[in-house]
Amino acid sequence: MRRMSVEAMTVAERLESLNVKCVHAGSGQAMGVTADLPRLPGWTEPSAANLSSGKVLLNTSCAVDGFTPNTVLLHGLLDNHVDADWLLAGAFEDSRRLPGWSERETSTTDFLGHRSAFVNGIYAVDQWVLEATTRYVVLDDRSGQYLTQLTVTILSSQRDDLATDVAVMNLGLEFAHC
């Protein structure tokens, strides 16, 4: 088994190293906090793409060359408490492992009062040059500690056309106490 430095561990690898599980919202577990994002015109939640662990939104009207802009929202309850800053340090490693990753922006500024990490950049897969934004949020609540990941992926060539949608989804991420 390959050993890696703590600095090079992703969020998932950090959770795994502590044997901490993220129980996702669709698993039947009651959630004290839910996560959601705005539904913008042109972005739909296809029934075939529903994840038991989150939500997928597609913008089929902007599909080009076999690629469809997409948003994935994952949210779950951690089964044990984790140091939020240590966990979020792995957020950047997730993106840095993408093929040809070129980072444009990173931030560890809190989001809605919760510990957060944000990264934006471009990478290449097959014939596509993609731009992705990913935000991780660790939310501590009396019902437990939650981990949320929101990733929006578009073609890099669509940046000007979809920049407002990407920004609204990233800034429109919201949490509700049940």
The amino acid at residue 144 is G
Helix, coil or strand: residue 154:
strand
pLDDT of residue 48: 60
Confirm whether pTM is higher than 0.75.
Answer: yes
Pairwise CA distance, residues 84 & 64, whole Å: 38
Residue 170, number of CB atoms within 10 A of its CB: 19
pLDDT of residue 24: 82
Angstrom CA distances, 35 to 20, 76, 121, 156, 174, stand at: 20, 9, 24, 27, 6
The two tokens of residue 42 are 């042109």
pLDDT of residue 68: 96
Structural domains present in the chain: 6-177 (3.40.1000.10)
Pairwise CA distance, residues 138 & 159, whole Å: 28
Pairwise CA distance, residues 69 & 54, whole Å: 17
Pairwise CA distance, residues 136 & 18, whole Å: 18
Consecutive 10-residue runs of the chain (178 residues): their mean pLDDT? 63 95 72 90 79 82 95 94 95 92 96 97 95 97 94 97 96 92
pLDDT of residue 177: 85
pLDDT of residue 172: 96
